[in-house]
Amino acid sequence: MFNTYDSIGVSVVGKSEVSTVVYRVGECMQELIKLWKEYESSQAEKNCESSQNGPTLEIRIPAEHVTATNRQVRGGQLWGTDIYTDDSDLVAVLMHTGYCRPTASPPSPAIQELRATIRVLPPQDCYISTLRNNVRSRAWGAAIGCSYRVERCCIVKNALRQQRFVREVTIQYNLCNEPWIKYSINIVADKGLKKPLYTSARLKKGEVLYLETHSRRYELCFTGEKMVKATTVSQAHETETEKSLTHNLHSTNGEISTVDGDSVMIDVFRWSCCKKPLPQKVMRSIGIPLPLEHLEVLEENLNWEDILWSQTGVSVAGKDYPLARVHFLSPN
């Protein structure tokens, strides 16, 4: 039931470098325990109590091990939920937390490895069992050794032409400790000429976009249509054309329907701050988009042109919001 990771250049605790080890199937993860003991020792020397958050450890997992046929995954070598025992298999943990799928098919040949950053934690009084993502963890009731949780995980692809590694999409924990995707403009940018895949089109079909800073969660949703004068829309499009020369990351794709010669119907959107970040299960139970009592509405009747995406965040009606995470949710 033990997993090991071979060290490939472990730093001394207290230094800025993150310890890095390589995953190996079926051996004890000694480096995790060693890191925790060194951390406790350093805290004792400083005559201070050990923090609930210990040092971090980066673990490189070769792609061939990221499969449900991994014998540690098949054997259920997994104890806890969100926080796991030090002998829980990391691949099983990544599947349990949703970072990768528990399938028998191996990853794409283009994927070289996964790189997971885990936080070393003190031993817990108990570890609970849950079924998540078709993987069930086991319960354990003894506080021994140490624990860990996954803080982030990314895919590393082998760029053959450059002969170097390229980091791909990164998954992070949201404010409710659930795996969401790290914010990237690629996630919200319109792709090609397929209008049904445009972000505005997805929102119009009922999906809701949730975005987080490091401390707050926001909701962007479609709220209907409004009638405006055709001359106003014409002026807005002329202004947007000028903007597009310098803001080529933004795309105008809100739908406009002609009503008569003087008026048109345009799509409108709402930008709100969630009063409290809620787990997805709770959000689905109370309704998506969230009821108004759970929101602080910041901007209503927004034209799509009022929402400008950038590499670091979004500008809504002229106000900038630096973003950390993003997630689409549908009512069903």
pLDDT digits over 159-171, tens only? 554 444 445 568 8
Residue 91, CB-side half-sphere exposure with 13 Å CA sphere: 33
Quote the CA–CA distance of 71 and 76 in Å, as a whole number: 9
Residues of the chain with pLDDT > 90: what percent?
A: 41
Q: Specify the pLDDT at position 237.
A: 45
**pLDDT for the residue 9:** 33
Structure tokens at 291: 């009821």
Domains of the chain: 4-173 (2.170.130.20), 185-329 (no CATH)
Q: Which residues contact 17 (CB under 8 A, 6 or more apart)?
A: 11
Pairwise CA distance, residues 264 & 230, whole Å: 6
DSSP category for residue 50: P
Taking Cα atoms as reference points, which of 165, 88, 102 lies closest to residue 133? Answer: 102
Handedness of CA 90, 96, 101, 105 (dihedral sign): positive
Three-state DSSP state, 79? strand
Closest CA to 73 of 91, 87, 100: 91
Residue 262 CA, chain-centre distance (Å), reads: 45
Distance, in Å, from the CA atom of 313 to the CA atom of 213, rounded to the nearest integer, reads: 9
Residues 6+ apart with CB under 8 A from 131: none
pLDDT score recorded for residue 7: 36
* Strand order across the 313-316 sheet: 307-309, 313-316, 319-322
Residue 242 reports pLDDT greater than 60: no
Highest mean pLDDT among 141-155, 193-207, 266-280, 302-316: 266-280
> Residue 191 has what DSSP assignment?
-
Tokens 């032409």, residue located: 161
More confident residue, 241 or 91: 91
Question: 89, 73, 99: which is closest to 28 by C-alpha?
Answer: 89
Block residue for tokens 């709402």:
270
What number of CA atoms fall less than 13 Å from residue 81's CA on the CB side? 13
Q: Is the pLDDT assigned to residue 209 strictly greater than 80?
A: yes
Distance of alpha carbon 93 from alpha carbon 78, whole angstroms: 7
Instruction: Encode pLDDT of 42-77 as tens digits.
Output: 887 777 665 667 888 899 999 888 888 888 888 889
Q: Write down the pTM of the prediction.
A: 0.48
What CA–CA distances, in Å, run from 317 to 37, 58, 218? 51, 40, 14
Grade residue 156 by pLDDT with cuts at 50, 70 and 90. Answer: confident
In the Cβ-directed half-sphere of 55, how many Cα atoms lie within 13 Å?
Answer: 26
Report the distance separating Cα 6 and Cα 22, nearest Å: 5
On the question of pLDDT at 260 being above 80, the answer is no
User: Contact at 8 Å (CB) between 208 and 328?
Assistant: yes
Distance CA 219, CA 37 (A): 43
Query: How far, in Å, are 9, 119, 163, 182 from residue 21 at the CA level?
Result: 7, 14, 22, 24
| CA gap 18, 56 in Å, rounded | 6
